[in-house]
Structures are given as structure tokens and as C-alpha cells.
Amino acid sequence: MIFRTDKANLLVFFIFILIVLLPGCRSTKYVPEGERLLTRVQIKNDARDISRDDLRGYIRQQENLRILGFWKLHLGIYNLSGRDDSKGFNRWLRRIGEAPVIYDSTLVDRSVDQMQLFLRNRGYYLAEVSDTVTFPTRRRARVKYTVESGPRYRLNNVYYRIDDDSIRSYVLSDTTNTVLRRGRGFTVQMHNQERDRITENLRNNGFFNFSREFIYFLADSSVGNHRVNDTLVIMPPPQNMSGRTESGNHARYSIRNVFFQVGIDPQERSIDGIRPDFQADTLFYQGFYFVFEDELDFKPEVLLNSNSIMPGGLFRSSQVERTQILLSDLRIFRYINIRFRELEGEFDEHGNKILDCVIHVVPGKYQSYALEVEGTNSSGNLGAAGNIKYQHKNIFNGAELFTLNTRVARQNQFIMRSGSKEQFNTMEFGAESSVVFPQFLLPVRIERFRQRYNPKTTIAAAYNYQRRPDYTRTIVNARMGYTWRASRYSTHSFFPLDFNLVNIPSVSDAFKAIINESFLRYAYEDHLIANLNYTYIYNQQEIGQRWRDFWYLRLSLESAGNILDLMAPIWSENMQDGYNTILGIRYAQYLKADIDVRYHSPIDRYTSLTYRFFGGVGIPYRNLNVLPFEKRYFSGGANSIRAWPVRGLGPGSSSDDRLTWYNQTADIKLEANVEYRFPLFWLLEGALFVDVGNIWGIRPEGSMEDGLFEFDRFYRQLAVGTGFGTRFDFNYFIFRIDTGLKLRDPAELSGDRWIPFSRSYNWNDVAFNFAIGYPF
């Protein structure tokens, strides 16, 4: 759409308000006679450590879903349907909408009871919850719940009653890690956490058959002063239980043998010998038994390096969990099961009962092929691309993952310059291959490192060819590095070898004339990048848990050219124009660091807010006084400032109309985004977003005019965009369409940068972005 006059702007704004508010009209259309629509549910709560959201989960009847806190879109869609149920369109509107919530007094009473029970479980034994129901009109009702929490009971003294001598020392020696601490608010959740903690501790010390059901608590709240004395009781195992010793205590277990059962259908043959006529080979290797049909498809070390369960050691549940994770991470097994068999009447030298461990794995298909065809539309620039992907998950019989990707892409692009449309075509093709080894490839062996940190070594090579009207470029890349997981959420990557050779065989005369007198000149010369880089990722996000809050942090550090510069005296006679070369090619020197922080905060079961901040800086020095083109920052596009096209923003407040295509890059990048996500109907989700940011140069010789970063003015050069997005959630992937609208353009004159207050909108102020997955 094009807004050309103030009247047109007002008309569009009025239409928008109608679209927003109209669904709320006649909200009682389908409320039966004599009933009332529940229009509002409120909670007044005076408990400091309990939020309204905590209490809202115990309300048995909620009002209709609101978007942005006021817009009952789904109820409005439902009310758009006609009363004729035989029409498919009416049924469809009702299916994607939401029926009106009819006030029910019995559910209000149940909500009061549920909230009171919750508060008592949180230590508020004297809490009172009351409800107030009002009827604004004859067909509407509002409910307000008032929580008077009263004093919170706190933990006073903790006592232990453990009659089992075999476990008493393990429990008492670990009390420094207890959650039962004097002065803490007394909650039922505290008991559950302590049960789980003690159970995990005992099962990690050989008590195979111990479970949390053996633990219970006796709480005494009669001591006065709103204090509770707590007694932890651990019961002995019942008679005739397999985990019971002759003296009636809980038994400890050690592991005698570990069997790897490979590729045998559990219905046909097992270690227990269900089919004695079934023939299988058995291999005893490094203290472990391998049972398999025909022959092993992989080396025995594949299983040994991913196993933490050792013969002769105590049973430890953490080792079982770790082994399951490591085996799953190999991605070559379609079935993994770890089980234990107790050997009745047998004991080890310490008097512990004995288990045999059977690790059953069934390999899946090692090879796969994929052909992908995609269409692209970036700010109206249409294109197509094709990808062929081949994978082999056991290329060298050691669970090594080999991947080969080939890609061909073509795009027809145009931009508006001085009121006229200019068009050009781009062509790109390339290939990339990599091998990921499930271990560290090092000259020395690090014992048990695989079991602790799940390390991987990646060796990769790639070639890319790009042809544009202004230049032709080829990029050759080779790298080797290591990745390991330090904890559940933390991952480290270190690539000591990463080479990029950039060759630009041709640059058009017109383009060369533009860049010769600017910093872009160095970006379009042949150059070599030899860097080392380190990346740390902290990611709390879990698959299938979108409605839980999580943090994401990515920190990246990179250094290039220093090793080559130390070796420069070897070829110092080749120094040209004050810089060094290797085989006649200039190499880059720079330091680069960036940080990406994201926080996802659910508002309720259906809506959420997601925040993101990105900051990065690259500092070139010595042998090449600008960052290589491949390492420079850019802004705009589907995962950045969405009101601008890719590479179409900045640097700073500069603008260069001489270029016939977007190519703005710089040394510094700052961005902040916030996105409000909510459900619409069917597979559709909606999003409202605001993006702020820009890029800047760090040195005058490497920056466009008005594009240099300065502390006293960079904040006045920030671009601001907003917009609306729709997402098609197909479970296995999300297709996204975002429409961005410029609010503040730093390339405009100083007093005209806020567009809604300075001029009418046109097509150059709108950008459409198509992408797969969320932007952040």
C-alpha cells in the first residue's frame, strides 16, 4: 500500500481500528438466554513470593483468550459464524475460533479450593481465598479472587530417622547439599526435591533398587511462631524384595559383566538365551562382551568410547544416563536399551550383590539423500535455489558423519534508485564436505574424555562461486576444529585451523571506479584469511518446550593473521607497498568478537515475549587495514532489522546512491529486538515486533562518510523498524512471513528521520521477508 496524504493515513488508521475492535462487538451473540459471558478474571494477591501467574494455573475457568491484553480475536472469529450448522463455513469459523466462556459458579468454588490448597503446599497454612462476582450487564459476569496469604510457615529443625545402617552414612554425609535449610519457607515441593536428591545420591552409590517411595516426612507445625519441625524417614525394603539383604537393609550392587548386544531383534534372541538354537557371534574385547549376528558394521571402540558403565564397578545411575546420551548422540542407532540382570545368590568380594549389564543397540540406515528446491523472496527480489545433500553416518566404520552439500542458486534483484527501478541477476554455486569424528583427533590420548564431554572433531572443505554484474568471486575454505559439551546447556567450539582464500578474477570498470576511492576497494582484492576462533554457547531451550522461559547466549572470539605475521621474515623480501603477501596474496590481520543474547518469556500458556541483543566489533590492523568482506557485519533482512533489505542499512547515517545494489557493511554492529508472539487460528501464529540497530565503521579510512562510530552520536543513528509477522507451524518446521515497516531512518535528514511525523509512506519503506524458523 502507498500512503500519500495525511487523509489517507487517517483512513488507514481508522480501518485498522475497526478491524481490531470489530471482533469484540456482540461478544454475547452465542451466550444462551439466562447465562452470562465471563468477561474478566482478576486476582488480587498479597503473597510476595507467589506471582499471579502461579495462582492463575489453579483457576478452573478462564475468560476468553486476549491478544495484547484486550483483543478477543478468537471469540470474534467464533461470533462471525452463522447459526446454520449445516454450512461448512460456519463450522470452520467455530473450529478455528473460541466459543464464549459461560460463567459457572461451581467452577469458581473449585478455583478457590484449588488456590487454597496450593498456598498451603507453599507454606501459607492460614491463607484465605475469597471470590467476588459482579454482573456489569444482564449477560456479562466478572470474577475477582482475593488472596490473603497470612504468615508463611518456615522450617525450624530437621531430624533424620534412618534404621538402615547401610545407607545412613551416605545420607548424613551429603546433608551439605540438602534443600531442607533452617529458615526457608516450608513447601511440599521442598520434600519432593529432597526425595529426588537423596534417591539420586544412593543410586549413584550402588543402591540399584532404591526409589523415592522409601522416603517420607513427618512435619510438626505445633512448635509455635509459625515454625515447622521436619523429620525425614527412610524405610527399610519390604520382605521378599530383591533389593533386600539378609539383615533387612537395602542392598548395594556391583557390575560383573557388560554385554553389548548389537543388531539382534529382542524378540528373537537375548543374553538370557530365549532361543538357544539361534546362532550369534561373541567377541570378548578389552573386558567387554560383544554379541552380534554375522559381523560388526563398526569398530568396537565406537561402543566402548560411548560407554560409562564399567565391569567391576558399583552400579551408578548417572553412568547409565550418560551412556544413553552418548550412544544417542552417535546417530547411528535406531534402538538403544540399557537393562540390568540380577544374579541371585552371588556376591562380590565386598559382599555386594551382582548385576550383569546388557546394552542393546540396533543400527539404523547409515546413508541418506535429500533434494531440496526452494524459492526466495527478499524484499521483492525473486530467486530459486536447489540443494543436494548426501550423508553417511559411518563412513570409516567409526560412527563418523560425512556430509556433502551442493548448491545452485539464481536470483533476480532490483532496487529503487532516484525513482527508477534497476535490475540485475546473481548466480551462485558451490559445494561443501565435512567429516565429524566422535572423538578428539589429537597426538595424545585423553582418557575418559569422551564419556565426560562428548567431544567431536570436524574437518571440512568448501568451494563457492559467485557471479554478479559488478564482480565475480570464488571462495575456498578449509578448517579443522573441536567441539565439546561441558554441561547440559554449555557447548564449546575451538577451531585452531580455519583458512579462507578469496579470489576475485574480475571487477567491472563501472564498479571499480566507484570503489577505488573508498574503503570497499580492499574488500574486492584477492586476500587470504588464516584465523583461529572460539565459540561458547549457553542454551536452555528444549525441544517441545516452547512455553517455558529460557536464556540463550552465544559468545564468539576470532583472531586472524598473527601466526602468518610471525613467519613473515621468512618471505620478507616479498613485502610490497608496506604489507606482506603469501604467494603474491595479501593476508588479513584482525581481532573480532561478538555476543548474541536472547531471552524467551512466556506471558501465559498461549502468548510470549522474546528479546534479543546482538553486539559485535571487528578491529583490523597491520597487514590489511580493513576487515575482509566476508568478516564484516551487515544489517537488515529476515533475522535482523526486518524493515530494511539484507545489507540495505547503514553504516551510520550514510547513504551511497552510486551503488546499484545493496552492499552496506561495516566493523561494528548493534541490534536489539523484541517480539510478541500469539496464536491466531489453525496452523497460524502471529507476531508483532520492534527492531532497533545499525552498523558503523571503526576507522575513517575504512568507513563511508557519516558511517563512523562515535560515542556521542551513534545512538542518534539507530534505525527503528516495526511490523507484523505470521508463522505457519507444521511441527517439524515453521514457515515465516514478516512484513517490516520503517519508523526511523537514519539516512534521512536529521529532522526528518521519524517517518510517521515527517512524510508519507511509500513502497521503499516496506520490506517483506520469507524464512524458515523463528528469527531468534
Q: Which of these ranges, 95-104, 130-139, 759-768, has the smallest mean pLDDT?
A: 759-768
Condensed to tens digits (0 to 9), the pLDDT of residues 365-395 reads: 999 988 876 655 544 555 677 789 999 999 9
Instruction: Return the pLDDT at 9.
Output: 46
Q: Domain 483-772: which topology?
A: Porin (2.40.160)
- Of 136 and 26, more confident: 136
As a whole number, mean pLDDT of residues 549-574 equals 82
Confidence of residue 4 (pLDDT cuts 50, 70, 90): very low
The burial class, CB within 10 Å (0-12 / 13-18 / 19+), for 165 is exposed
Q: Read off the pLDDT band of 252 (50, 70, 90).
A: very high
Quick check: do 154-234 and 253-363 share a fold? yes
Give the pLDDT confidence score for residue 517 in this predicted structure: 65
| Whether pTM exceeds 0.85 | no
- What's the confidence (pLDDT) of residue 233? 94
Distance separating alpha carbons of residues 568 and 565, to the nearest angstrom: 5
What's the rounded Cα separation, in Å, for the pair 492 and 490?
A: 7
Break the chain into its structural domains and give their ranges.
6-148, 154-234, 253-363, 483-772
What fold characterizes domain 6-148?
A: Ubiquitin-like (UB roll) (3.10.20)
Q: What is the pLDDT of residue 275?
A: 45
- Contacts of 517-521 with C-beta under 8 Å, sequence gap 24+, read 518/704, 519/626, 519/697, 519/701, 519/702, 519/703, 519/704, 520/663
- pLDDT in the model for residue 6: 43
**b/e for 639-668, b at 16 or more Cβ within 10 A?**
bbbbbbbbbbbbbbbbbeeebbbbbbbbbb
Q: What is the band of 309 on the pLDDT scale with cuts at 50, 70, 90?
A: very high
pLDDT score for 572: 55
Neighbouring C-alpha atoms within 13 Å toward the C-beta of 733 = 4
Distance (Å, rounded) from C-alpha 329 to C-alpha 298? Answer: 16
pLDDT of residue 3: 35
Q: Which of 103-107, 151-155, 324-328, 511-515 has the lowest mean pLDDT?
A: 511-515
Q: Which has more pLDDT, 210 or 345?
A: 210
With pLDDT > 90 as the criterion, what percentage of the chain qualifies?
A: 41
pLDDT by residue (tens digit) across 60-111? 999 988 887 788 888 888 888 888 888 888 888 888 888 899 999 999 999 9
The C-alpha atoms of residue 548 and residue 540 are separated, in whole angstroms, by: 10
For residue 654 the three cell numbers come to 550514510
More confidently predicted of 375 and 162: 162
Range 625-651 average pLDDT: 86
| Averaged pLDDT for residues 316-334 | 92
Give the model confidence (pLDDT) of 286-307 as tens digits: 999 999 887 888 999 999 989 9
Q: What angle, rounded to 10 degrees, do the helices at 165-172 and 188-203 form?
A: 110
Indicate if the pLDDT at residue 541 is higher than 70. Answer: yes
Q: Under DSSP, is residue 428 helix (H, G, I), strand (E, B) or coil?
A: strand
Per-residue pLDDT at 14 exceeds 50: no
Given a contact cutoff of 8 angstroms between Cβ atoms, the answer to whether 491 and 507 are in contact is no
Spatial contact of 580 and 568, defined as CB atoms under 8 Å apart: yes
- Could you tell me the strand order of the sheet in which 37-45 lies? 37-45, 140-148, 128-134
Residue 148 buriedness (CB in 10 A; 0-12 / 13-18 / 19+): middle
Task: Return d(Cα 437, Cα 445) in angstroms, integer.
Answer: 14
- Identify the pLDDT of residue 382: 59
Q: Which among 84, 79, 117 is positioned nearest to 96, based on CA atoms? A: 79
Q: What is the mean pLDDT of residues 703-731?
A: 87
38-54 mean pLDDT: 88
Compute the average pLDDT of residues 591-600: 95
Q: What is the pLDDT of residue 522?
A: 67
Mean pLDDT, the chain, whole residue set: 84
Contact 624, 84 (CB under 8 A): no
Q: How far is CA 49 from the centre of its chain?
A: 29
Across the range 342-360, mean pLDDT stands at 91
User: Do residues 645 and 379 make contact, with C-beta atoms less than 8 angstroms apart?
Assistant: yes
Per-residue pLDDT, 472:
85
Cα-based distances in Å from 638 to 20, 86, 379, 511, 633: 26, 43, 10, 27, 15
CA 112 to chain centre: 37
**Residue 527 to residue 537: CA distance in whole angstroms:** 30
Is the domain 154-234 a CATH 3.30.565.10 member? Answer: no
The DSSP bridge pattern shows strands 37-45 and 140-148 to be parallel
> Is residue 623 a contact partner of residue 700, using CB atoms and an 8 Å limit?
no
Has residue 18 got a pLDDT over 50?
no
> Which residue, 65, 75, 19, 81, is CA-closest to 679?
65
At residue 684, the pLDDT reads 85
Length of the chain in terms of residues written: 776
Give, in degrees to the nearest 5, the angle at Cα 262 between 310 and 275.
Answer: 110
Question: Any idea which of 258-272, 318-332, 605-619 has the lowest mean pLDDT?
Answer: 258-272
Q: Which tens digits make up the pLDDT trace of 475-517?
A: 899 999 999 988 889 999 999 999 989 888 888 777 777 777 6
Domain 253-363 has CATH 3.20.20.70: no
The three grid cell numbers given for residue 524, joined into one nine-digit string: 574486492
Q: Is the pLDDT of residue 661 over 60?
A: no
Instruction: Using the predicted structure, report yes or no on whether residue 424 has a pLDDT greater than 60.
Output: no
- Which residue's entry shows cell 577505488? 516
Query: Which of 637, 679, 652 has the alpha carbon at shortest distance from 775?
Result: 637
List the one residue out of 561, 474, 477, 574 whose CA is nearest residue 524.
Answer: 474
**What would the pLDDT profile of 167-200 be if each residue is shown by its tens digit?**
999 999 988 899 999 999 898 899 999 999 999 9
